[in-house]
Structure 1
C-alpha cells in the first residue's frame, strides 16, 4: 500500500513537471518570431488611382526599383484603390499599405514609406545607416521637442535612446509630415499601424486626415510617443520648395514635391522632371 501511494505521487509529480515544460515551451513557440532582416528595408509607395499606368508613375517606380536593387531592398508599390477605406480619404491608404508590406515581407527590418510625389536622390544612402544607425540617430533625434510646432506642451522624450526608437518621422511648419517615415518592423509596428488605422480615427473628420490623426495619437498615447523620434526634415523628407518646410539640397536622401498639383506648370510630373536627370545620373554613376 505504501509503495503504491509513493509510486502514484511520483507519477503525478513527473506528469506535473512534463506539463510545466510543455506549457513554457509552448509559450515560447507562440511568442514573436525572430526577424531575419531579409530584406533589410522595404520601400513602400502608394499611388492614387489617377496616376496608375502613367509615365509619371513609371518614373517614380523606376526610381524606387533602382534604389532597392542597389542595396538588396524590397519594394512594395500599391494603389489606393486596392484598399477598402470605408469612405475615408485616399491618403489613409499609406497606413494599410505599410501593414500590408509587413505581411508580405515579414522578415524585413525596416519599412520606409515614401510618398508618390517624391524621388530618392542619394543612391548610396542606406536606411539602416543614414536613418536608423545608432550613432546617426542619436545625433539627429530632437529630444524634449514639441510634437506640434511651435509650442505643443506634449514633447518627445528627453531620455529616449536610439535603440528604443521604432518610428522615425519629421515635421514641417504645419506639424508632423507623413510623406516620408521609417518604421522598425516587429510587434510594436503592427500594434502602431493597427491603432493608427482604427475606424474611429478614419471616420473622424480631421482636416488633414491621417496626418492629424497621427498627431492626436502621438500626443495622447505614451506607448506610441515613447518609441517615436523626430529628426530634422532634410534627413528623410526635404521639400522641393521652401513654402512650408526645409528645402532640398544636394546630398539629401530624398526630395518631396510638397506643393505640386495635377496640372499646369506646377504639376507633379513637371516637378519630377526637374530632378529626373540628377537622380538618374547619380544612380548611373554608382552602377
Structure 2
C-alpha cells in the first residue's frame, strides 16, 4: 500500500514539471527563426535558383538548340547562342587559313590571288587528266596495231618466231640522254619489228646487275645471260644498243645472217681483225665451221663494236659470257668492248666460234663511207660516237622519219589479176598494130636505160667523193665512236 502511494506521488510531480516547462518556453517561440534559419527557406527553392538548368530553359530553343545531356561546362550563360556567327561550313571566327584560302560562303567574294590559285589548281588537274587519257588511248592504239601486224611477215627460213629474242637494256644514264624521247621511240620501233616477225622483244633495266667499281656497260653481259634464262625456247639473242633504229623492218634475221645458207654468204673469210684502227696481223679463218659459230659481230674502222651482237644458245656461249665478265678483265679494261677485242686477238680457239660479218650487215653507222655508213636497205643505223660532237639528237631526228614503218600488208592478188586480165583484153582488141607500138616503146625504154646507166655512173662518182669525206669525218671522231 505504501509503495503504490509513493509511485502516484512521483507521477503527479512529473506531470506538473512538464506542464511548467511548456509554459515557460512559450515566450521564446517567437525567436525560433533566428535560432533555426532553415526553418523559413525550402530546399527546392534553393535548387531552382542555383541550378543551371533554369538558364537553359530561358534561352530560345529555336535559335540555338542545346543538348540537355551537356555538362555545365559546355553552356555559355553570358553569351546567347544567337550572337555567335555561324558559317555554312560550321566554322567560327578562329577558322584556319585553309578555310580562308578556299571560302565556301558564296556571299564572301574571293580575292584575285585566291582565284588565281584556284584556277591554276584546276588547270593542273585538267592537264593531268588529259595526259592520262591520251596515254591510255595511245596504249590501246599500240596494242591494236601490234595485234594487226603480228606474224604478218610470214617468215619461212629458220630460225624464226620465238626462237629469236631481240634484247635492249639500259639504266637510263649515259650519252643516250641527249636524244629526246629516246626510250619511247626505241620501244615502238622494236616492238613493231618483233611483232611483225613474231620475235620476242625484251627490255631489261641493267641497273639490277650493277656492281661497285664496274662501269655500267659491263652489265649487258649478264643481261644476255638473263635473256637466255627467261626465254627457254630462244636459240639466238640479238643484243642492240639503245642508240639504234631498225630502218628496214621487212628484213628477217634468218634471211639476213642466221640461216646456215645466208650465214655462209655473209661471213667474212680471211678478213683482218683490227686493233685500235691498226692491222693486228690476225685474220678470220677461211675454213670456219658454220656449225661452231656461236657469236656474230662486226668491226668498225677501229675494231670490234659491241653495239650489235648475236649469240647462239650453246655451252660455249654460256662459258664465254662467264669468262668475258671475269674480274680479271673487268679490273684491267675500262669497258666490255676493249676486253672483247683482247680476248678475240689472244685466243685462237675462241675465234673459231666467232663469225665476223661486214659492218653494214648488222651495225651500219649514221656516218661513214660504203663500208661503214648506212645505205638504204640496211637493216639498222647505229649512232655510235655521235656524242663526240654533240650531234646525237640532230642525227637521230634526221634518220627517224626516214625509217620504214611496219604496216599491215594489203592483199593485192585479186587486184593484180584483174589488171592483168584487162591488159590482155586490150591487147586482143588492138590487133597486130599493137606489136609495133610495143617495139617502139621497147626502144624508148632501152634509150632510157642507157641514159639512166650514164647517170648512174655519174652518181657513183659523186657518192665516192661523198663517202671519202664521210670517212675523214669518222676518222676524226676516232675512239669516240667506241
Name the TM-score class by shorter chain. 0.7 to 0.9
Alignment check: 8 A CA contact 1:239 1:245 kept: no
Shift of residue 263, structure 1, vs aligned partner: 9.5
Which residue in the other structure is 2:19 paired with? none
Is 2:161–2:197's contact at 8 Å kept on the other side of the alignment?
A: no
Deviations 1:67-92 (A, max 9, x none): 11111111121233221233221111
In the alignment, structure 1 segments of 5+ residues that lack a partner are 1-35
Give the count of matched residue pairs.
246
Residue 283, structure 1, aligned to residue 438, structure 2 = no
User: What corresponds to 1:199 in structure 2?
Assistant: 327
Distance 1:82 1:66 in 2: 26
* Contact in 2 for aligned 1:147/1:154 (Cα 8 Å): yes
Distance, in Å, in 2 between the alignment partners of 1:135 and 1:246 is 24
Write the distance in 2 (CA, Å) between the matches of 1:244 and 1:215: 24
Could you say which residue in structure 1 is the equivalent of 2:396? 272
Give the direction of change, closer, same or farther, for the CA distance of 1:45–1:262 in structure 2 (3 Å limit). Answer: farther
1:43 paired residue among 141, 148, 166: 166
For the structure 1 residues 244 and 195, does the alpha-carbon distance in structure 2 shift closer, same or farther, using more than 3 Å as the test? farther
Q: CA deviation at 1:161?
A: 3.0
Question: Which residue of structure 2 aligns with residue 174 of structure 1?
Answer: 302
Contact 1:85 1:92 in 2 (8 A): no
Cα distance in 2 between the residues matched to 1:84 and 1:248: 33
Aligned-residue CA RMSD (Å): 2.5
Q: Deviations over 1:51-108 (max 9, x none)?
A: 68x7211111111111111111111212332212332211112111111111111220
Judged with a 3 Å threshold, the aligned counterparts in structure 2 of structure 1 residues 249 and 196 are, in CA distance, closer, same or farther, namely same
1:107–1:82 Cα change, 3 Å: same
My pick for the range that moved more, 41-50 or 190-199, is: 41-50
**Alpha-carbon distance in structure 2 between the residues aligned to 1:263 and 1:93:** 26
For the residue of structure 2 that corresponds to 1:147, the secondary structure is strand
| Conserved 8 A contact 1:147-1:215 | no
- 2:253 is equivalent to residue 112 of structure 1: no
What displacement does 1:245 show?
A: 6.6
Distance (Å, rounded) in 2 between the aligned partners of 1:155 and 1:47: 33
Alpha-carbon separation, structure 1, partners of 2:389 and 2:161:
40
**1:199-256 per-position Cα deviation (integer Å, ceiling 9, x unaligned):** 21111134xx111100111122233211111110000000001189700011101100
Based on CA coordinates, which of the two structures has the bigger radius of gyration? 2
Contact 1:173–1:245 (Cα < 8 Å) also in 2: no
Counting only pairs closer than 5 Å after superposition, residues 50-69 of structure 1 correspond to structure 2 as 50=173, 55-69=181-195
Distance 1:244 1:134, change over 3 A: closer
What are structure 2's unaligned runs of at least 5 residues?
A: 1-158, 411-482
Match of 2:365 in 1: 239
Residue 156 of structure 2 corresponds to which residue in structure 1? none
Q: 1:230, 1:248 → 2: CA distance?
A: 18
Contact between 1:113 and 1:182, CA under 8 Å: does it hold in 2?
A: yes
2:269 is aligned to 143
Would the aligned equivalents of 2:358 and 2:371 in 1 still touch at CA under 8 Å?
Answer: no
CA separation in 2, counterparts of 1:83 and 1:245?
A: 35
Question: Which structure's residues are more often strand, by fraction?
Answer: 1
Post-superposition offset of 1:37:
7.4
Partner of residue 133, structure 2: none
Q: Is the 8 A contact 2:210 2:216 kept in 1?
A: no
Q: Given the alignment of the two structures, is residue 216 of structure 1 paired with residue 342 of structure 2, yes or no? A: yes
Q: Tell me the TM-score normalized by structure 1.
A: 0.78
**CA 1:243–1:153 in structure 2 vs 1: closer, same or farther (change >3 Å)?**
same
SS in 1 for 2:336: helix
TM-score w.r.t. structure 2 length?
0.48
